[in-house]
Structure 1
Amino acid sequence: MFKKHKIVFSLTAALLGLAVSDLNAKSPDATYHPFPDGYGYLKDGKVLSDAVEKGDTIPLREHGWRLWAGIMQEPKGMNWPVWYSWPNATGIYKNPDATYKPCPVGKAQNTGTASAHKAHGLMALNKANIIQDDLTLPAYPVPEAVIKAYPKATYLDSNGNCTIMDGKHFQSNGDIMIANEAFSKEAADWITQNKLNRKATLVDLDAKGFHLLDAPKKHIVTKHMYWPVKKGQMGVLPVWKEDYGPNFTKYAGYELWNETIAIDPTGKKAGQEVQTKYLYGVTFDGLDKDRIPQLPITKTSKVHDIKDFYYHQVTKEDWKSFDDGDKAILNAASYWAYDQPFEEGDYLVTISMHINTKEVPSWSLNSVWWTPEPDKTIYSQNKPKDLKAKGPWRHYDLVDSYDITPKPGFNMPVAMNPYIELVIHPVATNCQNCHIRAGYKSGYQSKECPDMLEHLTTDKACLLRKLLTDYQWTIPDRAY
């Protein structure tokens, strides 16, 4: 049985053979802005620990709301949220030796996507568990206009599918959602200085029998999702209304939700109802025929003012700062949503975000998503009354997940973000159960640990012989 070795932030260079220059490397973004003061980050450690021990979710949720509001504030001199200035997965996990085969122009593309590959890979690894077996996903072929406009930002992956490269600011999600995986400076430094962004390091540690990586306390990992909205016209967004219950085991992504809303950049038609259309060029091969929607999806949608969202209008300066990967990601999302390219002056609206911090050893896991009816569900509860943050943070729902041991005979509750989880996971999942499994040679599901709502600990037999990466899937998923 492997011993519970840990790697801490002060790990010696000799252990991993690090060069001095690696240890002295500066943050990859010179304009970095830390998490702002006044929102409880690193101030409530004992409160959080006591609440986890007692199973008291109120102070935990209040803390999550403060984190969410704080991370969306705009630092002085910047018109993006604070996380936009942070190192992201593109830079941290960039392989300098990678070579790419370009996508052919004028030839039908295979219908795979980055998110589909990830989900099907999970299924292949974890075929024994029925909950994941029938999760067939839709496919988003890269629009030919994107391949022609940004040939250096599209490539054929190992399965022969045309895929969009990660950009300087955004990471390719393989669907309409525009992702950014951002890391606090301390998190980025810990990963890069210890060379945890390289598979060779993980292979070496695994061979030596290491079991637990241990990130520093001052450590934030995020995943943020934007949705495109065209200037001068109504945007369209599918919204989650608990369409599928926890026993539903098939695909339940946003394309199959029952309700959409319209987003008015002018706000003049807020409260009215209009006809909307969205979703172009998507295929649903393998999905039950009676569940395949008629495309484009046409619905009567209630109009919401764009000010109900955190949003950003892309300026000429923004467009110049984007690389071809960013532009390809934005354009593909806009073509899939509206059958139109993304342009300067178009908008990005925040629809969801994970905010994971190491303030307690078992992590503070919080996730938000936009809701058309704030304060209507259990996920709107416990908003701090004294929180006077800028922006519509109250128009979002929040789910939290901590290492709270459930009562005997009970499982952990379903805790997932419908926008982020349901495009690759079944409904019945829990953030803690998922993230504690993160590790080298570790899968989301396994024969030994099949229950997605079981309360797991790192000494559980099914996790004991794994190199666990301290609640962080980005390390094993992206290491090159």
Structure 2
Amino acid sequence: MNTHHLALLFGLTAQAITLPVHSQNIPNGSYQLSCTNVSVAGDALAATCKKLNGASHATKLNTLGSCLNSISHYGDIGNIDGNLICLPDLPKPDPNFVFPQSETLLNQWIYAGDLNQIYRHGWGIWSGLTQQVGLIDGIAVRAFQTWTVPSNIIFRSAPVNASLKGVAAPLKRPGLELSVPRQFRHGQKPKAKAMNVKAVAAAAATGAPDTNIFVSVAYNPPGAEHAIANRLFYESTLQQYMKNGYTEIPNFPNNSITIKPVYKIISKTVPNGIYTFPGWPGPTPPDPKQGFDESIWNSCVYVDINTLSGAGGNSNDPGCKNRTAASTFYLNNFIHNKVSADDAAYLTNQLGIKVAEGDYAILVGMHVTTREDKVWTWQTFWWSANADRPFEPSSSAIATARPLSYLDEAAKHYAMSVAYYTVAPPQPITGGQNVGSSVYGYNPYLEAGFGPDTFGISRPINGTVNNTTGIQTNCMTCHNMAAYVPSPKTGMPYATDFYMSINDPVFDGTLKSDFSWTILNTLVPTPLK
């Protein structure tokens, strides 16, 4: 198994280990395994911590109080390569925001149609996961960047590695563990990897619009610990559950969060320092019966990487032929990473494209789902040139609900769409009817390009409304289909938007994976002994 970027490889949780405490003011945490001279002054935790190379480094974690609040249910204070970092389940910068929210209250919002409360909740999650939780050698780290990737979960699930937990060593730095989205190969012939290589090379060499995206998946601490403890990424585990008569895997705890960040990679040598990528123009496909892929959006945004900071514009360039100040933005307008030497080597090998140290990875989208509800909550975010007036499937009403005082300038630049139910008015999760109006909730950079050949199941709403493309999807419907199907049977298909009971007969003979496609797409046969 590739162990590059097993960030936070042996990270511990505050509930998983009891460490010696030198005074009432010094918090527990795995950092105590590799840090000394620990002290608390005001709202700051200071220590001298070991780096991966064995050297010692004086480090400080500011805003200790907010860190302790964000790890009250699960989480840790860790030492990442000589730096004290808060490793939260979800920060709560807004003291009025509740996470996890009670399922009873969520259902009251859903069935009363209280969209404003739903919007505020989705933005509360976004403001938490984008909060800065510490510095690594002066570079800010956001909460979601500390969360656990599937390769880490698989590694830590193996019994042979159980003895490594609690080793007195610094944690590895979070890395960019990116890949071509698996969903682009679901239900249709795989797109040739050479096409991605060619397009990336063209964007780097000529400044042509870059239509490629790369993704990762990560779990917050309680979600990761649940997957590790139950060994959910091993096919042998799922087979045993089915043998024992289970119809679903053990459900994740209600404070679990899973994310799918979506990035574009900018070459530091892009011509004239101007990088071009398609900006979402709204659901306006030239052929409504086909997918609406980035390559035909005919709407562009420009990033000036030579000017690291600036106010940026507020619009796309229709036609992609006339860059102006209004369609030009800067790196500080995006949540972004500068590619390290380790990242560059890994990504070049993993993606089959040339990635160099000093390139940039900009966040253009993120799926976010929480287990606060039996059918999870679903919110998806994408970068918008005008986040105050975003295109559908977002809206000005959704944008108005942003907690601007708890978002930094980069985090404010994203639009949101929510999918807390599949049809309106909402139906019960079992025994409901496929009637009402469609509720679309999708990410333009992930699903908009899907055509009818992506989907293997469709049920017309009201018997007449037949949704067939990516801009007619709903995260909840599609992830409801996630279930393990033993070989040699065909796996479950993706779905567009319609109502389906969680105990629909289509799931007979399967093991539902608690709405997780990631588990099914990342299964390995059996753990090491």
| Same fold? TM cut 0.5 | yes
Q: Which residue of 2 aligns with 1:234?
A: 274
Partners of 1:220 and 1:363 in 2: CA distance: 9
Q: What is the CA-CA distance between 1:405 and the residue it aligns to?
A: 5.3
- Aligned equivalents of 1:478 and 1:208: distance in 2? 23
Match of 2:246 among 210, 214, 218: 210
Aligned to 1:92: 153
Q: Specify whether residues 123 and 443 from structure 1 end up closer, same or farther in structure 2 by C-alpha distance, changes over 3 A only.
A: farther
The answer to whether the 8 Å contact 1:240/1:259 transfers is yes
- Which of 58, 70, 80 is the equivalent residue of 2:128? 70
2:87 counterpart of 1:33? yes
Q: 2:112 maps to what in 1?
A: 54
- Which residue does the alignment assign to 1:44? 101
Structure 1 residues 121 and 401, CA gap change in structure 2 (3 angstroms): closer
**Aligned pairs for 1:416-431 within 5 A:** 416-423=442-449, 426-427=469-470, 428-431=472-475
Q: SS at 1:367's partner residue?
A: strand
Shift of 1:235: 1.3
> Does residue 400 of structure 1 match 2:454?
no
- Report if aligned partners of 2:217, 2:261 keep a CA contact under 8 Å in 1: yes
> Relative contact order (alpha carbons < 8 A, sep ≥ 6): 1 or 2 greater?
1
Residues 307/268 of structure 1: CA separation in 2 closer, same or farther (3 Å cut): closer
Q: Secondary structure at the match of 2:322?
A: strand
Structure 1: runs of 5 or more not aligned:
1-22, 97-113, 125-135, 147-174, 277-296, 333-340
Are the aligned partners of 2:123 and 2:403 in contact in 1 as well (CA < 8 Å)?
Answer: no
Distance in 2 (CA, whole Å) between partners of 1:458 and 1:82 is 32
Q: CA deviation at 1:444?
A: 5.2
Query: Which letter does structure 2 place at the counterpart of 1:420?
Result: L
Report how far residue 211 of structure 1 moved: 1.3
Counterparts of residues 332-411 of structure 1 (less than 5 Å)? 332=353, 341-377=354-390, 379-380=394-395, 381-382=397-398, 383-385=401-403, 387-403=405-421, 406-407=424-425, 409-411=435-437
TM-score, normalised by the number of residues in structure 2:
0.60
Percent of aligned positions with the same letter in both sequences?
19
CA distance in 2, matches of 1:478, 1:361: 23
Alpha-carbon distance in structure 1 between the residues aligned to 2:184 and 2:331 = 32
CA contact (8 A) 1:228 1:235 kept: no
Residue in 1 that maps onto 2:341? 319
**2: distance between equivalents of 1:323 and 1:258?**
30
Compute the displacement of 1:356 (Å): 0.8
- The answer on whether the counterparts of 1:93 and 1:197 sit within 8 Å (CA) in structure 2 is yes
For 2:322, the equivalent position in structure 1 comes to: 300
Shift of 1:119: 4.3
Which structure would you say has the larger Rg? 2
**CA deviation vs aligned residue, 1:45-74 (integer Å, no higher than 9, x gap):** 254232023232211111111211221122
| CA distance in structure 2 between the partners assigned to 1:117 and 1:361 by the alignment | 25
> Is residue 263 of structure 1 aligned with residue 303 of structure 2?
yes
The 8 Å contact of residues 222 and 354 in structure 1, kept in 2 or not, is answered as yes
Aligned-pair distance for 1:392?
Answer: 2.8
3-state SS in 2 of match to 1:75: strand
Rounded to whole Å, the distance in 2 between the matches of 1:313 and 1:415 is 31
CA contact (8 A) 2:261 2:367 kept: yes
1:81 alignment counterpart: 142
Give 1:249 deviation, angstroms.
4.1
1:328 is the counterpart of 2:349:
yes
Displacement of 1:387: 3.8
Aligned residues: 367
Change (3 A) 1:465 1:53: farther
What is the one-letter code of the residue matched to 1:204?
Q
Equivalent of 2:482, from 415, 424, 438?
438
Match of 1:103 in 2: none
Once the two structures are TM-superposed, the CA of residue 275 in structure 1 deviates from its matched residue by: 10
Return closer, same or farther for 1:210/1:452 CA change in 2, 3 Å cut-off: same
Query: In the TM superposition, what is the alpha-carbon distance from 1:342 to its structure 2 partner?
Result: 3.3
Distance in 2 (alpha carbons) for counterparts of 1:269 and 1:63: 28
Give the conservation status (yes or no) of the 8 Å contact 2:180–2:351: no
State the one-letter code of the partner of 2:480: I
Cα distance change of structure 1 residues 298 and 444 upon mapping to structure 2, 3 Å threshold: farther
- Match of residue 223 from structure 1: 260
How far off its partner does 1:198 sit?
A: 0.4
Q: Could you tell me how far 1:123 is from its partner in structure 2?
A: 3.9
Aligned counterpart for 2:516 among listed residues 447, 463, 472: 472
Structure 2, unmatched stretches of 5+, are: 1-14, 18-29, 31-74, 81-85, 159-178, 201-210, 426-432, 455-468, 525-529
Q: Give 1:260 deviation, angstroms.
A: 1.2
Q: For residue 75 of structure 1, report the CA deviation from its aligned partner.
A: 0.9
